[in-house]
Amino acid sequence: MDFSRLDYFRIAARRGNLTRAAEELYISQPGLSRSLSRLEEELGVPLFERRKGKVALNTYGQVFLANVELAFEQLDQGVETIRRMYSKDQNILSVACSIEDFLIDRLKEFSSVHPEIGIRQHTGSLAEIEAKLLQRSIDLAICAHPLRNAAIRYECLSHCPYVLVCRQDDPLAAGGSIRLAQAADKVFICENSRLDRQQLSALCAIAGFQPRVSHEIENGYILFNLLQESGGVALVPLAYYLKIDSHFPDHRLRALWLEDEKLPVSEIGVAYLPEHDQTGSATVFLEHLRAWASQEAEVMIRLFPG
């Protein structure tokens, strides 16, 4: 049985329209129609009810689609299985991170200690990262909070307080600390990989206001430049501000401690499937992350003993 015809069949069944299905498959509509007819001829069973370009599965087609989808799912699992076997044999670590620019430093440190382990880095949304973990196409994922699926373990590595960052010439910068409500009239810049808009709104709600957001971005370097030039403010983890301070000593920003007592802290954690399913390279990297977290905790205690 022609594999491509099965793929055409399930796309046509999903779309219910031959023209749209053909566009998705990058083939002509008559070519798709001929392929579906040949599939029905090969099976000896009609699969569709056709009405002027629109198609709907009949009872036979619905049963066949369920089996075709199962076959494709098993094929996808087979692909991921052999990729995982290959990664294990080749000593390759597959890792993803939802926190922009965090993984760069960790991988640089790790590779200097373990040059024998290859790195395959993945990017994507939290939903995409969760799917990749469940499909076992990645070993570990770095993220800012637990993932939704109960089968995925989440281990908090580090946590630190949020600080409000503004320009040095902002009136708020006159003191070393403020209550968050004092920034209620400011325009906020939201860097989603560390603190998304929903989380920002929740933090500000604790202080009794809803923030006005001018930018939602996914990049720490863009955030840095916007803060320098726009006059907006941002809530960021202290660790991020310390990174700015280290990399750009001539910056024009100021971090203000928040005096609010009930604000949650930011965190960074690692998500993975049960440890007995991990590759050796993933186990080594997980221990590396734990060692980094221990050092990071010591720094935070010195800076923020409370």
Which domains are present in the chain? 3-82 (1.10.10.10), 92-141+276-303 (no CATH), 162-264 (3.40.190.10)
Over residues 39-85, the pLDDT tens digits come to 899 999 999 888 776 788 899 989 999 998 888 888 877 777 776 66
Question: Could you tell me the two tokens for 45?
Answer: 């069973």
Closest CA to 119 of 97, 99, 100, 98: 97
The model's confidence at residue 90, banded by pLDDT at 50, 70 and 90, is low
- The Cα-based distances of 150 to 70, 96, 136, 273 in angstroms read 23, 19, 15, 10
Question: Could you tell me the two tokens for 37?
Answer: 């007819």
| CA gyration radius, the chain | 26
The sign one gets for the Cα dihedral 290, 292, 293, 295 is positive
Q: What is the pLDDT of residue 85?
A: 64
Kindly state the average pLDDT of the residues 251-275: 89
Q: What is the pLDDT of residue 72?
A: 86
Question: Could you tell me the two tokens for 250?
Answer: 């001539």
On the question of pLDDT at 305 being above 60, the answer is no
Q: How far apart are CA 115 and CA 110, in angstroms?
A: 8
Higher pLDDT, 4 or 80: 4
Q: Which helix (H) or strand (E) holds 42?
A: helix 29-43
Kindly state the average pLDDT of the residues 277-294: 86
Q: What are phi and psi of 106, to 5 degrees?
A: -65, -40
On the question of pLDDT at 201 being above 90, the answer is yes
Q: What is the pLDDT of residue 176?
A: 85
Which range is least confidently modeled, 9-23, 94-108, 201-215, 273-287? 273-287
Which range is least confidently modeled, 28-32, 220-224, 254-258, 301-305? 301-305
On the question of pLDDT at 276 being above 60, the answer is no
The model's confidence at residue 303, banded by pLDDT at 50, 70 and 90, is low
Q: What is the pLDDT of residue 181?
A: 95
The model's confidence at residue 226, banded by pLDDT at 50, 70 and 90, is very high
Mean of per-residue pLDDT scores for the chain:
86
> Can you give the pTM of this predicted structure?
0.65
Burial call 238-250: b when 16+ CB within 10 Å, e when fewer = bbbbbbbeeeeee
Kindly state the average pLDDT of the residues 163-185: 92
The model's confidence at residue 200, banded by pLDDT at 50, 70 and 90, is very high
Closest CA to 234 of 204, 267, 264, 276: 204
Q: What is the pLDDT of residue 159?
A: 85
On the question of pLDDT at 207 being above 90, the answer is yes
